[in-house]
Amino acid sequence: DTEVTQTPKHLVMGMTNKKSLKCEQHMGHRAMYWYKQKAKKPPELMFVYSYEKLSINESVPSRFSPECPNSSLLNLHLHALQPEDSALYLCASSQPPNRGEQYFGPGTRLTVT
């Protein structure tokens, strides 16, 4: 199974809402990532977890809160987002030590109204 799954596929939320994005992989990978991708732009790294510990936070605003409950799951908790946070949020996984070969999920299309 070389699949990374993400739910939901689409999410519309207001600026006062709290929601969560979920990501799951069953490839035994021990590194997981969140990326943000705006239209016609490349993916931008947000967070990296390695062995369930947060390794990299690319100065992401605190309204985004990642969580890695176990080696297969990765969540992104959202609160008080801004319209400019509307984007495609991608999850990826890899086998550390990472050499860059990541497996990506289909993404969650987030719209903040």
Cβ of residue 31: shortest distance to other proteins, in angstroms? Answer: 6
For the chain, the maximum distance between any two Cα atoms, rounded to a whole number of angstroms, is 39
43 binds other proteins per the rule CB under 8 A: yes
Q: Which residue has the tokens 């605190």?
A: 62
40 binds other proteins per the rule CB under 8 A: yes
30 binds other proteins per the rule CB under 8 A: no
- Residues lying near other proteins in the complex (CB under 8 A): 4, 31, 33, 40-45, 48, 50, 55-56, 90, 92, 96-107
